[in-house]
Structure 1
Amino acid sequence: MSTHKREIQGTVVSIAGEKTASILVERRVLHPRYRKTVKRFKKYLIHDEKCELKIGDTAIAVECRPLSKTKSFRLKTILTTGANV
């Protein structure tokens, strides 16, 4: 059985209730026709047990068992804090 868990890194865009934050993850993909690098964005809900995330923070989340209908990631570390946001 593999213990490899997917990790995502993104910016906190909202606090979505108690112990939950919404992060925006950006990935860069090559456009199939034009061969240009374009940005793709997706929002994930992550579980923040200690309620330590603020809007503007950059965080890493790790995949876990489903905690609710839409929440399958939990907070691993906070990389930077959004000081002036």
Structure 2
Amino acid sequence: MNKSKQTKSGKVVSAQMMATVVVSVDSFVSHPLYHKKIRKTRRFLAHNPADKAKLGDWVTIEETRPISKLKRWVVVDIKSPVSMVDVNADIAAIDQTINEVI
């Protein structure tokens, strides 16, 4: 049997573990009665072999053999890495908001 592996794309929401990232994947489903699109979010633990994926990156993950109790996915591609300029701008905006409140 030549079964193809599933791939999903999502955002890295946690990168605090060694060689592991938590990827949040959004999907939209239709409500059975009202037919409104509802966002469903699932979080997958994915193996990050070279520690290249960082917090905020958009990545593609692929099914693999069980690596640990909860890890069954591996990061195969980093679509758009987050730049440090964006992070520093966000931190500056948060600091400014805090100073205005105080």
User: 1-side partners of 2:51 and 2:30: how far apart?
Assistant: 36
Larger Rg computed on CA atoms = 2
* Counterpart in the other structure of 1:77: 77
Deviation at 1:71, TM superposition (A): 0.3
Partner of 1:17: 17
Structure 2 portions without partners, runs of 5+? 88-102
Give TM-score scaled by structure 2 length. 0.80
Structure number with higher relative contact order (C-alpha < 8 Å, ≥ 6 residues apart): 1
TM-score, normalised to structure 1's length? Answer: 0.95
Q: Distance in 1 between matches of 2:16 and 2:3?
A: 29
1:50 maps to which residue?
A: 50
Identical pairs, percent: 31
Q: Which residue of 1 aligns with 2:60?
A: 60
More helix per residue: 1 or 2? Answer: 2
1:37 maps onto 2:50 in alignment? no
CA distance in structure 2 between the partners assigned to 1:82 and 1:46 by the alignment: 18
Letter in 2 for 1:13: V
Root-mean-square deviation over aligned CA pairs: 0.9
Distance in structure 2 (CA, Å) of the matches to 1:31 and 1:18: 39
